[in-house]
Structure 1
Amino acid sequence: MYRRSEPEEQGLRLETRYRRLRSGGGSLLDLVPTTDEEEATVLEERRTSSRAVDLPPSPPVLQPRPATVGEWLPRLQLLGEIGVDDVILWLRDGVRWIVIAVVLCVAAALAYALTASPRYTVYTDIVVDPSNLNVVSDDVFTSNPQRDAQLLEVESKLRVLTSRNVLARVIDKLQLTKDAEFVRPSPLDFLKDLFLSDADQDADKHLAVMRALTERVEARREERSFVVVMKVWSEEPEKAVVLSDAIVDAFETELFQSAAESAGRVAQNLNARLDELRRNVTAAEKKVEDFRRSSGLQSSNGELVSNQLSSELNTQVLAAQQGFIQAETRYKQMRLAIAQKQTASASVFESANMTSLRQQYNALQQQVGSMRLTYGDRHPRLVSARSEQTTLEAAMNEEARRILERAKADFDREQAALDALRNKARAEKSNVFTDNEAQVELRDLERDARAKAAIYETHLARAQQVAERQQIDATNVRVISRAMPPNSRTWPPRTVILLIAGGILGLFVGVAAALTLGAWKYVRGPRPAAG
């Protein structure tokens, strides 16, 4: 018949007592074996040893079996059966660890409260408008109306607020490299004095102050607005306010200097371009004048002299032609009057002598008529009058021929003048055609010169405008809330709060340590035997 071995029975008894303890029907003392049980155990060992003599010997073990997790932690599988009584027992056993943890954490909190450097934080609200002030109509910098672009502009300026350039200005202005709050003494300072030069030491101090100041400054943008909140802390409340104001001033200066430097680069590039444009304009204008001189083009009041001269010659030709026609007509009328012997009555012969002769001839003709009626045709006085009349006719004819010769001379002169003017007009007309052809090329050169001059004048005006723009601060940054000295420190908290927090932390640490130690002892306990 099968009989349980002693370890198995002992394990079953322990397991039965443990279950009874879990169900609330027993106590922890039930787990301790009684005297009867010990005697029964001893008798059972003797019987087992006596039976073991008759059993055949076991085969030898060829190699040692490696230890398993169950041998190291025999009660690991019973972790799920841990109850409240076990936890209470573990906490009761670990009270000293809980007290030690609480005392240590409270002492550490008190030491930190007494030795920690205080922090006083101030806040500054700044409105960073992405659209700069519209100082001039066509500014160097253009504003983008899109909201995403405006937010990017604000974020960029927010990054400038905490940039190294701004912080470097603050360090130089406030001389923070000489401030003990930012430059902590180090035991290795004497070694630095031995191996580093003054310039290297200053650079190291500046870098250390830069790092310290970077950790003390923080800026963020409020949601759905262009307001930037800058937070600065220091070990002294007044110094925190001074740092905040200095950073704001350095930020505005950096923005203005950045805009001025950008405008300066634009002006420098424009000035460099102006020299070339000036040379181009000078060369174009010189080319125009050289071409005008080589082509013999002269202008007056915006019109070529050849055109004006040709126009005047045409006017003179017309006037000479009219004079020639008049002289020709008068000459022909005189010749016809002389041929028809009408010199005495023709009005074309006009002169003072002719007028006097006509008056005498008319008066003598009246006398001759009267005498003919009175004395008859043979009267001596009538004969004498007729002889005088013939003399007057001969004189008028002579005067008419003299007037005719003068008219002929006028006619010849008018004809010669007309021919000369016509020849000159024809010659000037050819010059006009030549000048007009040259004028086409001249206009092309003038257009090129005017275009280059316009570009040069535009760049010149723009360069002067940009140069003046360097002196104008158009950044639209306003401080709406200046930093105020804080009433209390922001870190560390008050000593009472630190002590309470240290006590709570110590309590948690102690409880965790007690529970961990109890669980470890539990899983390391003896392994129950199988029934």
Structure 2
Amino acid sequence: MYRPDEAGKQGASQPAREQRAPVERGSLLDLLSSDLHEAKSGADGSATDRPAEVQHQSRDIPKASPHPADLVPPVSRAAGAPRDSYFPGLSGLSRIGVDDIIGWLRDGLIWIVLALVLCVGAALAYAMTATPRYTVYTDIVVDPSNLNVVSDDVFTTNPQRDAQLLEVESKLRILTSRNVLSRVITQMRLTEDPEFVKPSAFSSLKNLFSTKAEQQAGNELAAMRALSERVEARREERSFVVVMKVWSEEPAKAVTLSDAIVAAFEQELFQSAAESAGRVAQSLNARLDELRHNVTESERAVEDFRRKNGLQSTNDGQLVSNQLSNELNTQVLDAQQRFIQADTRYRQMNDAITQGRTASASEFESVNMTNLREQYNVLQQQIASMQRTYGERHPRLVNARSERANLESAMADEARRILDRAKADMDREQQAFSALRAKASDEKSNVFSDNEAQVQLRDLERDARAKAAIYETHLARAQQITERQQIDTTNVRVISRALPPNARSWPPRTVVLVAGGGFLGTILGISLALALGLWRYIRRPQPLAP
């Protein structure tokens, strides 16, 4: 059986030169590699050659604490170099057991207790001094489709779901943008709130060398940074619901901040849409001046051309020359009809006079002719009666026949006067017909020239109408968009408003912090005790194997 005194005797019997062999000192890596090589060699060779009883006793050597004189540094079998004097226990790392670990924990109990106390105290101090945080949540439905107030709105709606999700993500980015946060800072005066603008040690000195504008800008920047760190928003998967999280040091202030951010978000969306519509209206108004000028020039060109060519239009859009030509044609037809009637009457009267039918012809119509015919008819009856009564040579019959001849002569004279008057009427109608026909012929040539000019006039009118239609469309659109600026069509709804929290979100409760500190202190203490025990183990010399 192996004993420490036998190891001492064996060590004493070795030659003095071998015991006093110089130790080659090199780098730490050389020492570690040498010791590990010796430990492997000892585990493969000498350890396997020794009996189990000797090996068991050798594992108990560190607990026996032999005399330093009996211990000899291990010698490397590979290179013949002495064992490292700094970490002589590296070769025995494989022999560490549960008893060694329990011993190290027992020896480092004071460190465990000290770490536990320190961590628990630190956790308790942090729980008592840490600034509390109160977090509130607000659920907002951000519909990508705006309200359809007008049929032809400025902004189009994309029905594709990917585009709608991109629209919601864009509005989600607006929710936490600087424009929205700036509105909240201005509305709630966060630049004057010490929670958001914390005074520094050199703030008073810095204010002496800076202007009021620079101080205000610095406070706004500090408030912006503080507020942006307290606001967070995310979109729920497979939905258009956005959850906004806001925390503050006071529960009521957290709720107020959340409501103010939502209101500023809605105002920002409305202002963004209004500014976009305003830019479109401004562009249209700038274009309207040019369109108005073009319409005026086109209409002036139409009127100048009409005046130059003497083209006059009626209420129904027809040229006066065409209407006058049509009326002249009608008058010519009427005059021709009257001339034909007058010529026919004249010819009939002339034939009646030639044939001696003056007394019976119906063409001779006048008051005097009617009286003469009545007298002639009465006288003719008297003559017939006297012929039957008195005979052919009776003086009264002779006188009656003389009166009849006078009446016939008077009727002939009256017929010639009526014939002359009919001839005068025929000549007058003929002259009127000729004049109207000549005038109609002249007007017809004017109509042809006016029709040729009207072709160019219609082209000018079409151009003027097209420009006027474009101008009226742009004018109506500009007025509609101007009114659209005053309408809020953003479809954003708050479905769950922020409520005051019952407890703080950070730091955790004191009990949780103390429990966590105790657990962390225990882990740190155990780790420290094990590390110190391992350090002492690898620094302690190891006995040589027999």
Letter paired with 1:268: Q
Alpha-carbon offset, residue 360 of structure 1: 3.0
Match of 1:155 in 2: 169
For 1:352-363, list aligned pairs within 5 A. 352-363=367-378
For 1:68-217, list aligned pairs within 5 A. 79=93, 82-217=96-231
For 1:102-501, list aligned pairs within 5 A. 102-302=116-316, 303-372=318-387, 377-501=392-516
**8 Å contact kept, 1:14–1:31:** no
Q: Using the alignment, how far apart are the partners of 2:500 and 2:330 within structure 1?
A: 97
Q: Using the alignment, how far apart are the partners of 1:390 and 1:19 within structure 2?
A: 199
Matched residue SS, 1:101: helix
Q: Using the alignment, how far apart are the partners of 1:463 and 1:69 within structure 2?
A: 97
Match of 1:58 in 2: none
Alpha-carbon offset, residue 498 of structure 1: 1.0
Bigger mean CA deviation after superposition, 328-337 or 185-194:
185-194
Bigger mean CA deviation after superposition, 347-356 or 488-497:
347-356
Instruction: Give me the TM-score of the superposition, normalised by structure 1.
Output: 0.85
Bigger mean CA deviation after superposition, 420-429 or 409-418:
420-429
**Residue 538 of structure 2 corresponds to residue 506 of structure 1:** no
Matched residue SS, 2:296: helix
**8 Å contact kept, 2:146–2:490:** yes
Match of 2:29 in 1: none
Q: Using the alignment, how far apart are the partners of 1:80 and 1:468 within structure 2?
A: 87
Matched residue SS, 2:246: strand
Q: Using the alignment, how far apart are the partners of 1:68 and 1:292 within structure 2?
A: 127
Q: Using the alignment, how far apart are the partners of 1:22 and 1:478 within structure 2?
A: 84
Q: Cα distance 1:224–1:70, how it changes in 2: closer, same or farther (>3 A)?
A: farther
Letter paired with 1:509: L
Q: Using the alignment, how far apart are the partners of 1:32 and 1:18 within structure 2?
A: 20
Q: Using the alignment, how far apart are the partners of 1:105 and 1:22 within structure 2?
A: 46
**Residue 42 of structure 2 corresponds to residue 28 of structure 1:** no
Q: Using the alignment, how far apart are the partners of 1:376 and 1:321 within structure 2?
A: 56
Matched residue SS, 2:450: helix
Higher RCO structure, 1 or 2 (CA under 8 Å, sep 6+): 1
Alpha-carbon offset, residue 175 of structure 1: 1.0
Alpha-carbon offset, residue 376 of structure 1: 5.0
Matched residue SS, 1:299: coil
Cα deviation per residue 1:266-292 (whole Å; 9 max; x = unaligned)? 222222222222222222222222221
Q: Cα distance 1:14–1:194, how it changes in 2: closer, same or farther (>3 A)?
A: farther
Alpha-carbon offset, residue 428 of structure 1: 1.4
Bigger mean CA deviation after superposition, 518-527 or 305-314:
518-527
Cα deviation per residue 1:267-325 (whole Å; 9 max; x = unaligned)? 22222222222222222222222221112111222222112211211111111111100
Unaligned runs of 5+ in 1: 42-64
Instruction: Give me the TM-score of the superposition, normalised by structure 2.
Output: 0.82
Alpha-carbon offset, residue 352 of structure 1: 1.9
Alpha-carbon offset, residue 450 of structure 1: 2.0
Q: Cα distance 1:178–1:26, how it changes in 2: closer, same or farther (>3 A)?
A: same
Matched residue SS, 1:300: coil
Cα deviation per residue 1:232-261 (whole Å; 9 max; x = unaligned)? 111111111111111111112111211222
Letter paired with 1:309: L
Q: Cα distance 1:320–1:38, how it changes in 2: closer, same or farther (>3 A)?
A: closer
Letter paired with 1:347: S
**8 Å contact kept, 2:62–2:542:** no
Q: Using the alignment, how far apart are the partners of 2:136 and 2:59 within structure 1?
A: 63
Q: Using the alignment, how far apart are the partners of 1:264 and 1:233 within structure 2?
A: 37
Matched residue SS, 1:233: strand
Q: Cα distance 1:87–1:276, how it changes in 2: closer, same or farther (>3 A)?
A: same
**8 Å contact kept, 1:274–1:460:** yes
Q: Using the alignment, how far apart are the partners of 1:79 and 1:309 within structure 2?
A: 131
Alpha-carbon offset, residue 33 of structure 1: 7.8
Bigger mean CA deviation after superposition, 349-358 or 171-180:
349-358
Q: Using the alignment, how far apart are the partners of 1:473 and 1:529 within structure 2?
A: 92
Q: Using the alignment, how far apart are the partners of 1:420 and 1:355 within structure 2?
A: 36
Q: Using the alignment, how far apart are the partners of 2:331 and 2:507 within structure 1?
A: 111
Letter paired with 2:60: L
Letter paired with 1:229: V
Letter paired with 1:152: L
For 1:33-44, list aligned pairs within 5 A. 38=70
Q: Using the alignment, how far apart are the partners of 2:234 and 2:485 within structure 1?
A: 30
Matched residue SS, 1:345: coil
Q: Cα distance 1:136–1:69, how it changes in 2: closer, same or farther (>3 A)?
A: farther
Bigger mean CA deviation after superposition, 271-280 or 78-87:
78-87
Q: Using the alignment, how far apart are the partners of 1:353 and 1:345 within structure 2?
A: 14
Unaligned runs of 5+ in 2: 1-12, 20-37, 73-78
Bigger mean CA deviation after superposition, 85-94 or 449-458:
85-94
Alpha-carbon offset, residue 411 of structure 1: 0.6
Q: Using the alignment, how far apart are the partners of 1:18 and 1:410 within structure 2?
A: 171
Q: Using the alignment, how far apart are the partners of 1:24 and 1:459 within structure 2?
A: 105
Letter paired with 2:286: A
**8 Å contact kept, 2:58–2:545:** no
Cα deviation per residue 1:453-474 (whole Å; 9 max; x = unaligned)? 2222222222222222222222
**8 Å contact kept, 1:244–1:483:** yes
For 1:3-14, list aligned pairs within 5 A. none
Cα deviation per residue 1:498-524 (whole Å; 9 max; x = unaligned)? 111112112222223333444455555
Alpha-carbon offset, residue 223 of structure 1: 2.0
Matched residue SS, 2:139: strand
Q: Cα distance 1:397–1:235, how it changes in 2: closer, same or farther (>3 A)?
A: same
Alpha-carbon offset, residue 215 of structure 1: 0.5
Bigger mean CA deviation after superposition, 220-229 or 488-497:
220-229
Alpha-carbon offset, residue 32 of structure 1: 4.4
Cα deviation per residue 1:460-492 (whole Å; 9 max; x = unaligned)? 222222222222222122222221111111111
**8 Å contact kept, 1:20–1:26:** no
Bigger mean CA deviation after superposition, 151-160 or 205-214:
151-160
**8 Å contact kept, 1:270–1:463:** yes
Q: Using the alignment, how far apart are the partners of 1:379 and 1:304 within structure 2?
A: 80
Alpha-carbon offset, residue 86 of structure 1: 3.6
Matched residue SS, 1:232: strand
Cα deviation per residue 1:75-129 (whole Å; 9 max; x = unaligned)? 6576555433343343334333333322322222122112211111111122222
The number of equivalent residue pairs is 502
RMSD over aligned Cα atoms: 3.4
Alpha-carbon offset, residue 73 of structure 1: 5.9
Matched residue SS, 2:472: helix
**8 Å contact kept, 2:137–2:245:** yes
Q: Using the alignment, how far apart are the partners of 1:405 and 1:79 within structure 2?
A: 165
